[in-house]
Structure 1
Amino acid sequence: MLALPSVASEQELRPYVIRGDSIPESLTGVGGDPARGRALVLERTSTCILCHSGPFPEEKFQGDLAPNLAGSGTRWSVSQLRLRLVDASRLNPATIMPSYYRVDGLERVAPAWRGKPILDAEQIEDIVAYLATLRE
C-alpha cells in the first residue's frame, strides 16, 4: 500500500479560538496568498473540487456534492471561511467535508494520516484568502 505523506506532517497544530461560527484570528498571524490558495483549491490532493464546483473554466471535472464556491467571499466572512476549512463539523456534525486542520476525535482515518492535519496553517490561510476574493 502506498502511503501518501501529509503536506503538514511535520507541523504541530497552532492554537486557535472559535467564536460563534468563526475563527477570527489568522492561524499564522498574517493573511494568506490568494494565488497559492487558488492553486491549492484546484489540486486534487486538497480535494476541494472533488466536491465543489466554482469559477474554474479550465477544470473539466468539478464536484456537485457541495456548494458552488463562486460567491464564497460574499456569503461568508474570512473568519467564517477559516472555521469551515479548519473543522466544518463544528457547524454541521453530519457534514461530509473533511476537517482540514484537526487531528483529534476523528474516525476512519488512514494510518498514514493519523495525527496529521490534511493542510498546514499557511495553506488554510492561502485558501481562505482566495475564497474571500470570490464575489459574485
Structure 2
Amino acid sequence: MTRQLCLAAAMSVTLATPALTETAPTDVAYTEGKIETSLTATPGDPANGITVMTTAALGNCVACHTIAALPDVQFPGDIAPPLDGVADRWSEAELRGIVANAKMTFEGSFMPAFYKTEGFIRPGGGYTGKAPAGDLPPILTGQQIEDVVAYLLTLKE
C-alpha cells in the first residue's frame, strides 16, 4: 500500500471516530467534594473499572481497599476502608469526587489524587530527584475515573 493510501485511510478513520470530550483536571468543579457532572460524554464501564482498580500501573485501588466481590485479588490491602456497600454510602457525584481527588472530601486522606495535574508539594521527575518542567499528567484519564465510579456504583449491601 502506498504512503498516500495509508495516510488517506488513517484520516478517514480519524474523521469517522467521534472526539471524546473530557473535562481537563484543572477545569473540574468540586462542590463540597462532589463532582456533579461526568468527566466525559461517555458512560463508565464497570468491567473497565475493575481493570483500573486491580491493575498496579493504573488505579490499583485494591492495594489499600478490600472488595469482597473481587475475591481473587492477590494481596488486597487493608489500610483503607473496605469498598463493600460503597454505593449505599455515597452518591455518584460523591464517588466521582473521591476517586478524582479524595482530599477535596477528606482533607487528611492519604489516597492519591487520581485526576490532578498541578498543586503538588514535591513532585519528582521520573526518579531523577529533579522537579519536572510543567504540570504532571493525571494518574487516570477522565474515562478511567468514570469506569471506576461505574463499578463502585454496583457495590451495594
Runs of 4+ in 1 over 6 A off after TM superposition: none
RMSD of aligned alpha carbons: 1.9
Question: 2:30 aligned with 1:18, yes or no?
Answer: yes
Greater Rg by CA: 2
Number of aligned residues: 126
Cα displacement string for residues 75-95 of structure 1 (whole angstroms, at most 9, x for unaligned residues): 111100000011111112211
Name the structure 2 match of 1:7.
none
Gaps of 5+ in 1: 1-10
Question: 2:51 aligned with 1:30, yes or no?
Answer: no
Pairing partner for 1:53 from 51, 57, 66: 66
- Native 8 Å contact 2:23 2:39 kept in 1: no
Gaps of 5+ in 2: 1-21, 127-131
Name the structure 1 match of 2:7.
none
Question: 2:124 aligned with 1:110, yes or no?
Answer: yes
Compute the TM-score of the two structures, normalised by the length of structure 1.
Answer: 0.84
Identity score, percent: 36
Higher RCO structure, 1 or 2 (CA under 8 Å, sep 6+): 1
Separation of aligned partners in 1, 2:138 and 2:154: 25
SS of residue in 1 equivalent to 2:153: helix
Separation of aligned partners in 1, 2:74 and 2:138: 28
Name the structure 1 match of 2:143.
122
Compute the TM-score of the two structures, normalised by the length of structure 2.
Answer: 0.74
Name the structure 1 match of 2:90.
76
